[in-house]
Amino acid sequence: MAGKQEFVARFGGIFEHSPWVAERAYDARPQMPITAEDVHAGMVVAFRNATETERLDVLRAHPDLAGKLALAGNLTEDSKAEQASAGLDRLSAAEHARFTELNSAYVEKFGFPFIIAVKGLTKDNILEAFESRIGNTPQQELETAAAQVEKIAWLRLQALLPGDADV
């Protein structure tokens, strides 16, 4: 069984730039070997029990899709791989302009970047979701974005721990 420092080092990046989620999940976990599902469940509880400001900070830690950080090559390795898997690193000039326009409108309306678990999606699927979700109310979108963050965390955890190995 890993100590807290090792646990946070291993899982601190699961929720984008928010190691406090892993710290709180560790503090609340039972003192026995646990599975990837247990790690995810504990991290989701820590995220959901956080203050609204803390949850918003997690949302705001996510990069814009096909945004400035991607163009500059400054995404985390997870974000870079996730965006590339959906073809967001190969957009035409017109597609990039549309993503930029939507990113700006979305952040202006909601105060955090558009977040979607891109695994298995195409750029067209993502644009469709973007255009649909921008019509949500702030509360609807806060709930949707938080659910997407939890889904991204699960996908990252599965990639880190294939076969749901005990940790």
- Residues serving a catalytic function are 62
Contact 23, 6 (CB under 8 A): no
Residues 6+ apart with CB under 8 A from 34: 42, 166, 167
**Cα angle 44, 149, 135; round to 5:** 130
Q: Compute φ and ψ for 55, nearest 5 degrees.
A: -65, -40
Contact 39, 156 (CB under 8 A): no
Contact 58, 12 (CB under 8 A): no
**Cα angle 38, 44, 47; round to 5:** 140
CB atoms inside a 10 Å sphere around CB 38: 17
